[in-house]
Structures are given as structure tokens and as C-alpha cells.
Amino acid sequence: MIKKEKDNRPDQKTSPFIGLLLFCISILLLVITGPLGFIYGILHSLFTKGFSGIGEFLLKIAISIDQLGNVMMQHLLNQLWIKKEGYRFGNRDETISSVLGKNKQNATLTGFGKAIDKILDIIDPNHSLNSIDYYVEPNH
């Protein structure tokens, strides 16, 4: 297992052009190689770990998509789901559910945020509280 030391430095400033270029390249790579990697991953998981391996593989993908949503929808979620003093969405290392859980603990969810949390609780009891990641690198 590889352990990475975190130094809690803020993300480096990047020029808008570099950000746009890397965004376009990442979308292009996802569209071109994503389907092949997905099919290979499903088959590899199936033949090495059986059906439980497929579940693990799909869970990893779901968590990654959730982290993407936390970044992509940060401004909207910060506006609609939490109060101004709440723990903010947008950290690329954290899931939406983790942020929702932290705000539930701190009683900083708006009415809409509480409704979303209740829906998640119907599907998976205490989902947001169980999803809290206490080891997330701070987002400055």
C-alpha cells in the first residue's frame, strides 16, 4: 500500500487556458478510452473476483462520479443545500454525501438539503452520516 503524505497546501494557481485545455483533453480521453476501460474492468473484475468484484468496481466508479459532482455542482449545492456558515461543497477529494453528512452534524442544512438527506436515508439509513470522510485534505 502506498501512503501519500499530505502537506495541506492549497491547489496551485493555473491559467484559464491550461485549465480549459486539460478539461478538453480529459473529456476527449474519457469518450475515447472510457468504454474500453469500463468493459475491460467489468470482465477483469468478474474473472478475478466474481460478481462481488463487479460490485466493488462499480462502487469505485460511483464514488468517483460523486466526487466529480461535488466539484461540478459546488456553487449550486452551496446555494441550495447549506446555510452560509455551512461546510462547503467543492473539494475534489470528497463526495457529496460526505459534505451533506458534515452539514447534517453541524445543523447547517437548508430545508432542501434536509429533504435530500431524508430521501437518501430512505434508500440507505444514515447514508450521509456514514459517508463522512474525516481524512479529506482541506480545500483552501
Position 138 pLDDT exceeds 90: no
Nearest-angstrom CA–CA distance, 130 and 21: 37
Give the pTM: 0.78
Q: Model confidence over 52-80: pLDDT tens digits?
A: 999 999 999 999 999 999 999 999 999 99
Domain map (residue ranges) of the chain: 16-49, 64-134
pLDDT at 11: 62
Asked if residues 140 and 6 have their Cβ atoms less than 8 Å apart, the reply is no
How far is Cα of residue 7 from the mean position of the Cα atoms in its chain? Answer: 21
Which pLDDT score, from 0 to 100, does residue 76 have? 97
Percent of the chain with pLDDT over 70: 90
Cell of 45: 473484475
Cα dihedral sign, 72-76-81-85: positive
Percent pLDDT > 90 in the chain is 81
- d(Cα 101, Cα 107) in Å, to the nearest integer? 10
